Structure 1
Amino acid sequence: MKYMELSQYLRILARRWWILVVAVIVTAISAVAFAKLQTPVYQSTAEVVIQPARPDFGLTQSAKTLLRSYMTVADSNRWAQQVIDRLQLDMTPQQLRANARFAAEDDRMVIQIEVEDTDGEQANRIARTWAILMVEWRDQENQKQRKEDRVFAELRDEPVYTQSWPPRTAIMLVAGAILGVLIGFVVVFAVEWVESGVIRTPADVEQWLGLTLMAMVPLADFPKSARATSNPERER
């Protein structure tokens, strides 16, 4: 089995460089066009900090244990309906929850509320309203507890949306160019493989036969008169 040397690969690429260029241009333009045609989706994140009333190890551990329970309470159709009612949204609780994600970070004592929407400002409002519901719920629950046993919730910062889809144009352009390079390599070597069975030069003979070419028989150059007399029947 013969293996191609690096110099052979480089010669192939140098001979068919235009295929790589065309592939990169086409895929890069296609990637950017695809991104421009997509409907933007924005993501907003609100963080609710859970704070025990006193710096007690036992109370803090209890709050950490209850953190995921708080998250489960927030991620419910009942709370989603309250968000819909407050913001007068035209959707069902199930639809709203499908665009929301909740996560609990025990080490930071934080509950994250992530909301996606095609309207960035609305994503901010939904995330903030959901977080405020958590704060209000903890205030109500604290009324049933002694002051030293209370666990408070506080909105860490005002949520600010970012675009989650499609990626930025520069990212899509680079991704398209990289894909174009890969496709170009495949096309270049596929074409080279198809044409590899055609013998054009003495070097091709040596490569495929594994033998050293000692001599070549030149093509005979017959005079026109000789070619004409060699086939008299054709003149008739």
Structure 2
Amino acid sequence: MMKRIVVLISGGGSNLQTILDNCLSGEINGRVEAVISNRPDAYGLVRAKRYGCEAITLDHKQFTSREAFDEQLQATIDEFSPDLVVLAGFMRILTPEFVQAYLGKMINIHPSLLPKYPGLHTHKRALEAGDKEAGATVHFVTPELDGGPPILQGKVPILPKDEELDLAKRVIAIEHVIYPKVVGWFCEERLTLAEGDVIFAGKTLQIPLTLDDTNATK
């Protein structure tokens, strides 16, 4: 059965676009029912309209508190009865109550090789640390910021003359590979969260998968 997906965004929505494209091609056995942005000028809303799904703005500036915003966001999401909630550049810290409501069916992508560099300025921090590689991590969302169980990582080299923008372009390219792959796994019911553990293809993951893993490329 085709899964129902709701995507939360704050900006351009390039990861959203890869998910929409993979739904259209059949690589993902799901449909994006709605795209919700906390910013009315987010270009991802244009992408959503082109795809033919609901494009909804909930401007966080119109709410008196984070809790009030999250309550309305949850009510809006629930109108679409999603199987999966995808955070795709959604730049809001979510309340624990909101996260708990979607525990095990909400995923995020973070532009670092978690647990390294949770939070912001990940590329700058990797460069300043002298790291040889960087990348992105898809993980289940838990109340701990960027601390949910990791599922899949994509790695890229850090080159000697890299600046932040160079590294950012390389990382976003790998994000576009790994995020739709994980969404597809979830929609195929190959991926679940059980008592804090990631279960992939019936096995508990001890460490996140990488694109080099045999299982990850199937």
| TM-score, normalising length: structure 2 | 0.17
Structure number with the higher helix fraction is: 1
- The structure where strand makes up a greater share of residues is 2
| Higher Cα Rg, which structure | 1
